[in-house]
Amino acid sequence: MFRAAERLSDMEANMSDTEKNRALVRRYVDAMNKRDTNALNALVSDGLINHAALPEVQGRSGLKVIAEKLGKAFPDGKFVVEDVIAENDRVMCRMTFTGTNSGDLDFSRLPLKATGRRVQFEHVHVFRIEGDAIVEHWGFRDDFAMMRQLGIAPGGAAS
């Protein structure tokens, strides 16, 4: 039995490659929101190159680590896709992330204790797709806005 994230729907079978890539990225965002690492594994290549992550968190295993850390730090966190632009093998999404920092944020270089504060900040992600898998990812986040909202950067909420 196939799971929805692991196969193309009947509707997608009649789409152009660009439309299929757009749909694949939407399934990826949905899997990230659900912290569904099995679905994520089906959507990315084992050799995923993540330009937004440290060298030690690459590939499927690295994405699993990122999704688990995000889920721990922001259990109610959600990405909302604001814009999608797709052409050939590339899909770009502008997203808003909203969540409550109720768990520790285990950044490798800068671990942060939970603040209990709610954040909302923008992301831009670019995905390169080969076949039915995401093979490359670039991510640009407004980390300064997040840190201000968490109260750990100048101009943020009072501690």
Q: Read off the pLDDT of residues 61-118 as tens digits, 9 standing for 90 and up.
A: 999 999 999 999 999 999 999 999 999 999 999 999 999 999 998 877 778 899 999 9
pTM of the model: 0.85
Gap between the Cα atoms of 127 and 136, Å rounded: 6
- Residues making up the chain, counted from first to last: 159
Contact, 140 vs 123, CB < 8 A?
yes
Q: How confident is the model at residue 1 (pLDDT cuts 50, 70, 90)?
A: very low
Q: How confident is the model at residue 156 (pLDDT cuts 50, 70, 90)?
A: low
Contact, 152 vs 112, CB < 8 A?
yes
pLDDT at position 2, please?
A: 40
pLDDT at position 108, please?
A: 74
For each of the domains in the chain, give its residue range(s) and CATH number, in order of start. 4-150 (3.10.450.50)
Q: Token pair for residue 135? A: 């093979």
Contact, 58 vs 46, CB < 8 A?
no
